[in-house]
Structure 1
Amino acid sequence: MVSASWASRVLIEDIRANNDISAKSLNAILFQRFGVQMAISTLYRVKHKALAEIHGSHDESYAFLPKYCEMIKSTNPGSFVFCAWVQLQEHEKPLVFKSIFISFKGVLDGLKACRSLIGVDGAHLKGNYGGVLLSAVALDANNELYPFAWAIVSGEDTDNWCFFVWNLKNMLKDLGRGNSWCIISDRQKGINLALTELWNEADKRYCCKHLVANWKKAFPGPLLFSLFWKSCGAFSPFTFKKAMEQLDKVNQAGRKWLSNLGDQTRWTKHKFNTELKCDVNKTNFVESFNATLGLDRCRPVLTLLEGIRRNTMVRIASRRQQCETWER
């Protein structure tokens, strides 16, 4: 009589209150209320059944994406939404989800008052079918996060980054800033190639946090580590020149390694475009946004998209309420 279906029915409210509850805690609740215990493997099935009933199954969630896009367009006119499906070789099989790109009209209107620096990065999803969440985050005038576009794709490769960059470019074309945008990325898994082919007119920056990881492999040691950050964080040509001179004395190959990165406007602060009014040289702010999603990355794709929408909406609305209290 003590089956997984019965247990999921009597424990659903406990799992709803805490989606991350452990199997050991569920067993303790069953013993306290009903005097029974279940195997740990069975409790994992119980939790899976309950979560599927609470948030919907992963299969059904993907099937609802076309309707979700149409709902966004009808309730938020002016939003930029695109969903792609592919046909497998066997024509008798149904279409398979490929990618989805979303940006709401209200967020795009607020982007006009943000800085022109855009950070892009990917985060792996932990659902049944995996996938990658690609996100674009800007910085507002107070240097706080302003997420405005996100996409779900099958993997982080050149084709999917081309899909994301192409939609991002077409979406930002109507904001009236021309080619004044600057994109900062980690240069990994095809993103640099996608930016070069599809949006070469936009300015580019490299994440120094990812650059230093490769630097330490080629030039280990605390002295070279400090010289790397001194050259990347130099605010004046004089400071940059001093860092290069010290680097030549320690290891001349390090200067050659830095020169292979390309234009200095992409990795050292004293060459950054001053019109942006932003000296950020790391993509930590994009990774911070991905970290705020938390358990949503484990849930079905539709629940994940709603979680991102709610996260962004609450973030912007709370800032507006706070600034309304300022004395003008």
Structure 2
Amino acid sequence: MSKSRQLSVKYIAKDFLALFRANPIWHAKEIQQAVKEKHKWLAYNAKNCTYRMVLGSMRDHYSKIGCYLAALKKESPTSTFELLIAPPGFNNQDPNSNLETFFRLFVYFDGVKRGFLAGCRKLLCLDGCFLKTFLGGMLLAAIGRDANDQMYLLAWAVVEGESIDSWEWFMEELRKGLEVKDGGKDWTLISDQQKGLLNAVSLVWKNAEHRNCPRHIFANWYKNFKGGELKAYFWQACRAYNEADFNDAISKKKEISVGAVEAFMKQNPQSFVRCFLKNHTCCDVIVSNMAETFNGSIVKSRSKHIIYMLEDILVSTMIRLTEKHSEMVAKDVVVCPRIQDKLDKAKKFGF
């Protein structure tokens, strides 16, 4: 890297002359930090300039989404790609303008759908995460669990933000893609307590079992009721497989703090405690960590332009499915390895 002609020694001396006078023994490391803080905008501008040179402009990317989806549709005619244009007046735009603006995009590959219906339980984790470009937006996703109890990305969408309307649209597109009838009967959904999502599920998947992730409930509950014992009894209650064990954990928790129990019971334990869950999906999962794992796996992708982000998600999904399939084909087993490990662990504690 070449030296900066503008940010010279004389320039720094003149720029910080007043501080040098006030503190003649100013340490060199402190001078370096002060220069970095004052001129950090140079780094941001350089980053944005490099992005434009390497990736192109955001406007160009959004204008090419139609062509990108057409290419995907050509290769996978039975897949679903739903692109919505912003309604008139969206985001303070001129209601009379003929300019088409990106609003929402739903992506759902038929091959992934067939794999899900053939080998996964009727259980989905739902979550959203922020896109890290200056335009903002959210990425919504539905993640299932495969036969080996691992993450199986089913569908994803780019929307303007988390709201009742955006989640309702996503859940409706998901329902149509999976051909779910009877309001989602025999299905189980797991999510945090985001209001838009809760309302959308009650409207579109009204007969599905909806489990609330206890990790999010615990995060709010623990702010007011701290302590190692309370934490242990909280999770003991959540993981109880029968009401006797649940009541035992609640009683022990009440001996420490009555308020902690009252706050716990207000969260509707029927939606996140194992002993109260329905067993039609044959799955005792109560946390939405699969969705959070997916969000964490695309942190870098969420900072990219939209087409590059969509390609990253698509390619990583294809690679993952291929690798997992190859791993299982190579094994001569009746029960999947991770499930066998759970059985072995249960037998060990059973004796």
1:91 corresponds, among 91, 96, 120, to 96
Q: For 2:5 and 2:206, how far apart are their aligned partners in 1?
A: 62
Partner of 1:54: 54
1:266-285 aligned at under 5 Å gives the runs 266-285=271-290
* Alignment pair present for 1:226 and 2:227: no
Partner of 1:149: 155
Change (3 A) 1:67 1:85: same
One-letter amino acid of the counterpart of residue 75, structure 1: E
* Alignment pair present for 1:82 and 2:82: yes
* Alignment pair present for 1:118 and 2:124: yes
Change (3 A) 1:66 1:171: same
Q: For 1:303 and 1:72, how far apart are their aligned partners in 2?
A: 14
One-letter amino acid of the counterpart of residue 331, structure 2: W
* Alignment pair present for 1:131 and 2:137: yes
Partner of 1:247: 253
Partner of 1:105: 110
Partner of 1:14: none
CA contact (8 A) 2:192 2:212 kept: yes
One-letter amino acid of the counterpart of residue 49, structure 2: K
Where does the alignment leave 5 or more consecutive residues of structure 2 unmatched?
8-39, 334-351
One-letter amino acid of the counterpart of residue 194, structure 2: Q
Partner of 1:260: 266
Q: For 2:55 and 2:281, how far apart are their aligned partners in 1?
A: 42
CA contact (8 A) 2:184 2:206 kept: no
Q: For 2:317 and 2:195, how far apart are their aligned partners in 1?
A: 27
Question: Partner of 1:258: helix, strand, or coil?
Answer: helix
CA contact (8 A) 2:105 2:157 kept: yes
* 1:217-270 deviation per Cα after TM superposition (whole angstroms, max 9, x unaligned): 332332222221111011222211211222333333444333333361x21112
* 1:187-221 deviation per Cα after TM superposition (whole angstroms, max 9, x unaligned): 11411111112211111101010000121133233
1:181 corresponds, among 173, 177, 187, to 187
2:297 corresponds, among 283, 292, 297, to 292
- Give the TM-score taking structure 2 as reference length: 0.77
One-letter amino acid of the counterpart of residue 317, structure 2: T
CA contact (8 A) 2:183 2:207 kept: no
* 1:152-180 deviation per Cα after TM superposition (whole angstroms, max 9, x unaligned): 11111222111111111221226999622
Change (3 A) 1:253 1:105: same
Q: For 2:116 and 2:147, how far apart are their aligned partners in 1?
A: 11
Bigger shift: 224-233 or 63-72? 63-72
CA contact (8 A) 2:85 2:100 kept: yes
CA contact (8 A) 2:82 2:106 kept: yes
* Alignment pair present for 1:325 and 2:330: yes
Partner of 1:19: none
Bigger shift: 141-150 or 217-226? 217-226
Question: Partner of 1:275: helix, strand, or coil?
Answer: coil
Partner of 1:165: 171
One-letter amino acid of the counterpart of residue 134, structure 1: L
Change (3 A) 1:47 1:213: closer
One-letter amino acid of the counterpart of residue 70, structure 1: A
Partner of 2:199: 193
CA contact (8 A) 2:239 2:274 kept: yes
CA contact (8 A) 1:235 1:270 kept: yes
One-letter amino acid of the counterpart of residue 62, structure 2: Y
Bigger shift: 302-311 or 190-199? 190-199
Q: For 1:213 and 1:46, how far apart are their aligned partners in 2?
A: 39
Bigger shift: 250-259 or 219-228? 250-259
CA contact (8 A) 1:134 1:153 kept: yes
CA contact (8 A) 1:183 1:202 kept: yes
Q: For 2:276 and 2:157, how far apart are their aligned partners in 1?
A: 32
Partner of 1:5: none
One-letter amino acid of the counterpart of residue 117, structure 1: L
Bigger shift: 239-248 or 281-290? 239-248
CA contact (8 A) 1:125 1:298 kept: yes
- Give the TM-score taking structure 1 as reference length: 0.82
Aligned residues: 295
Q: For 1:246 and 1:99, how far apart are their aligned partners in 2?
A: 49
CA contact (8 A) 2:131 2:138 kept: yes
Change (3 A) 1:224 1:36: closer
* 1:85-107 deviation per Cα after TM superposition (whole angstroms, max 9, x unaligned): 12334323512211111011111
Looking at CA atoms only, which structure, 1 or 2, has the larger radius of gyration? 2
